[in-house]
Structure 1
């Protein structure tokens, strides 16, 4: 029998209208109502806002968490279970929820606090680079103070993060097929997030992390573990640490994974995974039709 990994996308995968079809179900209605109690605003209102409110960090992260968590619950209700889970940046919170590390409300409260802190982070800049010489990029980052590799997504795509001057210097100094400044409020996954990370650690400290029901591969350490204390410590490090997605993807075949299901809107992770491990079977589950169409 095939072994399956569930992976969860993060910021950048949001889309206007995502999750609206889930609101017709009792489970969806229940989760959306619970979310509004916690957040103080309606996820459905935000995702249906024509002015793309869902792409504001303050709203993006909670909305993605809610929509992806509902998809998790629907999949499990139909008898699906993952053998391993992982999530990209914000998606790691959904992975922990899917693994039973904390409940829906606890995860959402953490995500809301994370989004508030990250939305306030006005210093710094991020940029995506595609099609580059890895050695040349590593050397340029090493020689440029104030910039780090924030997302190691796959062999042909990375994101750098740091001060505007340092990020621009790397963009100008490394030949790439494409280099694009990202529309984000700060230098996420870099040391510039240290103050926000320290504040978030205070919110995280009293939260109990249960033993995971399936192994979790964390962004800052792709070594699979079910230890709640270890997973919590890795989450503390996540805001300033790199997202090691390429290594997570490479670890999946070594764990015997044959099939990867991207649970959430879009197909960003499917595209990244395809470039790294071509032999994995890839499936997207981002709406109700795709949930219902997934064979047990």
Structure 2
């Protein structure tokens, strides 16, 4: 069996994330402590107890999701003796999840990943004043139709495709007025559902350029090694291993389209037969079911799930 590891992105966070892992395994507690220390913040307390409004803030959600994924990885390695690199072929992460994937594959330290994601969240939030940008989900639309919708709706304002999630789900992002026009255009073109998303900034569009510049500067100061397994880039939708290329792509990713559907199709073409989603929630496993039913999706985030999955390896 050829296996790929998937790491969730924003939207998968929930109060209580990682708590059962921390209660059951010292390896998980060590990860959460490492992240808390790196950020000089009790992020783990916020993850376990909330409030949800604070956890949902981009600057908290991003490192929190990475921390939960890395807790799963460390428990698999230290408590169950799983060598992820030996048992898999590729890793991939959705947006911020790409940092989790790089961390899991030994390319980034946990402390550096936490600090980079904190900065990434803060920079994305600061890039556009609250209320000026928006994102919307087009359900029942493939990428080519979504691209027609945003082209028609732009009228000189920024609006573009942000996430091609697969299974007829495309997220668009940009200036609020342009996104609202795009919703009306989408409905006129017969898109099943088009709705605004409860997000605080328009991610993955040209309005995020200030955040991309901040990440370019921060990544320039960080040691990034070659990952143990190729990590699929959101920008190229194929496996990448060169540290310099990966850094450039992480910068481009801030303003670019998350090519998730194409990434999963690429993994299938490489012979991937199972994708294991390591971390909070089950979003990516659900998307895989819609993209290709032949690939087995497994969600591994809770102690029982981890134990059951480790026995199959």
Q: TM-score, normalised by structure 1?
A: 0.95
- Judge conservation of contact 2:153–2:185 (CA < 8 Å) in 1: no
1:139 equivalent in alignment to 2:148: yes
Residues 187-266 of structure 1 aligned to structure 2 (within 5 Å): 187-266=202-281
How many pairs does the alignment contain?
Answer: 295
1:149 equivalent in alignment to 2:161: yes
**Unpaired runs of 5+ in structure 2?**
none
2:301 matched residue in structure 1: 286
Secondary structure of the structure 1 residue equivalent to 2:49: coil
- Judge conservation of contact 2:4–2:274 (CA < 8 Å) in 1: yes
- Judge conservation of contact 2:124–2:201 (CA < 8 Å) in 1: yes
1:171 matched residue in structure 2: 183
Q: Deviations over 1:117-168 (max 9, x none)?
A: 1232334111111013654432221233311000000041010000011111
Secondary structure of the structure 2 residue equivalent to 1:149: strand
- Judge conservation of contact 2:70–2:100 (CA < 8 Å) in 1: yes
Whole-angstrom CA distance in 2 between matches of 1:63 and 1:100: 18
Structure 1 runs, 4 residues or longer, greater than 4 Å off: none
Whole-angstrom CA distance in 1 between matches of 2:146 and 2:108: 38
Whole-angstrom CA distance in 2 between matches of 1:88 and 1:110: 16
Whole-angstrom CA distance in 2 between matches of 1:26 and 1:132: 45
Secondary structure of the structure 1 residue equivalent to 2:258: coil
Would the alpha carbon gap of residues 133 and 102 (structure 1) be closer, same or farther in structure 2, given more than 3 Å must change?
A: closer
Give the C-alpha shift of residue 104 in structure 1: 1.1
1:45 matched residue in structure 2: 45
User: Alignment RMSD, CA only?
Assistant: 1.5
Whole-angstrom CA distance in 1 between matches of 2:134 and 2:94: 19
Secondary structure of the structure 2 residue equivalent to 1:262: strand
1:84 equivalent in alignment to 2:90: yes
1:58 matched residue in structure 2: 59
Whole-angstrom CA distance in 2 between matches of 1:118 and 1:6: 26
